[in-house]
Structure 1
């Protein structure tokens, strides 16, 4: 990597990576259903499990692309992806067979999961499928977490998730676990003690890191009622909490900071929904501007250039802000509604969400 900056402070190497035809980043939604009903969730759960024609299309797309790739990364998202493990296994086994025919390729895979079903046996199965990175959300200590990350049946979820996290720690699996800890006005006072517990239980293990993220107005039925931190409050709170982690034995490498370029800004990153619709952003799922095309059963991608172009505009406008989240200020085709963008809800308009944040 050079010290030169090519676009808006983005290193040359990152620019080349984003535009390389030899790199492919796919985000796959094996289902858009979920066993949770988190109070701040933006999804409507109107779509079910990925059907066989879409599964076949994903496989054939990868058959076409793998011979020309040197890097392939697949991210599993949802809904809750682990309630559709058969789809994950089917596609992953196909990918592993394909990568064995291309020994020069680097293949990595991750899952964004609520971890309710991530018991040791499941973790081992996923590991055998080369899924070795996790992002798992927690909303604070049990009494607070269970008020917001609620099961579909109304029950709490903390104890099951914590047990599964301890199971991951007890394993010898070569994995990376990002504990995404949500920060809200309701849990802020409890965060120092909770992060101390996180540090004690997990951060001495080199496989675990923490990502602190403020919950925003991401859309959904409870959006207007849910209290969130303002931008300046959020920055200050997260800065202080990160210092707490780093200053008490965690080490600076224990706090994870995402890169400055959103995956949705990268030309070689695509989202494939359970329906076969192709998009760029995992949050604005109901936004027409995020429907940029369709995956056909034969593996062909039919993309709409007029919809794709606005997601990539940060590169031509030389804008680090747009590259960081192209959903903000996304240009619209004539007649398309303007949905919510990163916590900014225009009066009287419907809502969508915040850029890929996990759940």
Structure 2
């Protein structure tokens, strides 16, 4: 049985997870069936046929080139826009990297974005348009979302493009009516909202601009979402520091129970790092953990019966940062064209001004990471593609070996979570 080198395996006490990075197909082979496969010729042939049908076997010398080409072709069909609707935020979080100014997006910039989109969609290159609303706090710029969304939707209908929309919001302004409008009228079906643990720890880390408390209102808005009948996905994100680590764990046994059995809600953990100081005073900060806690917390969430977001995203050959896509464009509130939503103030991350109708495509192409030929023999290459974070390579100049090691570790950990959460397509067991 000549298994492809691009198949990932993860063993558990009950069997082995197989993940095909060529196709994103997966199955779990129980120990009992594995023993039968080893001893029974008929079952072995059936198992071999299953592997062959689902592309688990080696496909020859140019196997990786074939699937890299498929991934590239699929990626080329997606046009992705991230729009920073407002320059300010109603929060002043203790780990925020942004610098704020009280400015909304002008109609001139909105019109320029629409013109840019028209030209892109008229080309006939794209099948999908994905729009992400970002900030600052994007709901401070709700008028921009309200004005642009119907135009985007109409353009997609005209050119037969599949439209999808997401928002990253602190949730404080996400009232019941606003959520209904976003979902029903503006087709915003993906939400990321941050709760940094319980009421005490959240209010300590995520402080309102006026110094007030935010947890209860956000939690009430999340409950209103849960009580609705709408189709959506909401990722509840936890930014974890030494200050709130224990509180984040306790959320699972207290307030989190409200969302536990609703598959629309998924948990996501992110260990706070040195993301940048932004406008913060140097002493207005959190205490960083000594090591990453996201894997440990994710395991705890899964074993506690929660849905988590990371395995289905990371263990997937479509996985890459949006900033590493040639067809991703970010527009800030002044119309500056960028790519990365973290390196907001770096000259390397500026590619033009949409108000002037200018995008420096040559510079943008140089920003995106190219596949290193030496990576083609690596079993992770179809997921990693020589690294998924342009900022790490282009700006912080992180050592390539360190990046490679960290990406592999991330994939392995998420493969373990994939197995633990039973996210695989098939279970192969004895009858």
Per the alignment, residue 14 of structure 1 pairs with 71
**Matched-pair contact (CA < 8 Å) for 2:372–2:386:** no
| Residue 246 of structure 1, CA deviation | 1.1
Residue 137, structure 1, aligned to residue 197, structure 2: no
Residue 44, structure 1, aligned to residue 108, structure 2: no
| Residue 340 of structure 1, CA deviation | 9.3
Per the alignment, residue 251 of structure 2 pairs with 194
Per the alignment, residue 101 of structure 1 pairs with 158
Residue 327, structure 1, aligned to residue 391, structure 2: yes
1:287-302 equivalences in 2 (<5 Å): 287-296=346-355, 300-302=357-359
Candidates 201, 216, 229, aligned match of 2:273: 216
Find the aligned partners of 1:323 and 1:47 in 2 and give their Cα distance. 36
Larger Rg: 2
**Matched-pair contact (CA < 8 Å) for 2:191–2:233:** yes
Per the alignment, residue 310 of structure 2 pairs with 256
| Corresponding residue pairs, total | 321
Find the aligned partners of 1:108 and 1:213 in 2 and give their Cα distance. 25
Deviations 1:191-215 (A, max 9, x none): 2211233541112111110111111
Per the alignment, residue 229 of structure 1 pairs with 289
Residue 114, structure 1, aligned to residue 114, structure 2: no
Per the alignment, residue 335 of structure 1 pairs with none
| Residue 321 of structure 1, CA deviation | 8.0
| Residue 226 of structure 1, CA deviation | 3.3
Return structure 1 stretches of 4+ with deviation > 4 angstroms. Answer: 2-5, 10-13, 222-225, 316-319, 338-342
**Matched-pair contact (CA < 8 Å) for 2:298–2:308:** no
| Residue 339 of structure 1, CA deviation | 6.6
TM-score (norm 1): 0.82
**Matched-pair contact (CA < 8 Å) for 1:141–1:194:** yes
**Matched-pair contact (CA < 8 Å) for 1:28–1:76:** yes
Per the alignment, residue 85 of structure 1 pairs with 142
Deviations 1:133-179 (A, max 9, x none): 10111111111111111111010110110000000001111111011
Find the aligned partners of 1:14 and 1:195 in 2 and give their Cα distance. 37
Find the aligned partners of 1:341 and 1:218 in 2 and give their Cα distance. 14
| Residue 100 of structure 1, CA deviation | 2.2
**Matched-pair contact (CA < 8 Å) for 1:26–1:75:** yes
| Residue 61 of structure 1, CA deviation | 1.4
Find the aligned partners of 2:396 and 2:353 in 1 and give their Cα distance. 21
Q: Any stretches of 5+ residues in structure 1 without a counterpart?
A: 331-337, 343-359
Q: Any stretches of 5+ residues in structure 2 without a counterpart?
A: 1-22, 24-54, 376-380, 400-431
Alignment root-mean-square deviation, CA: 2.5
Instruction: Flag the structure with higher helix content.
Output: 2
**Matched-pair contact (CA < 8 Å) for 1:245–1:255:** no
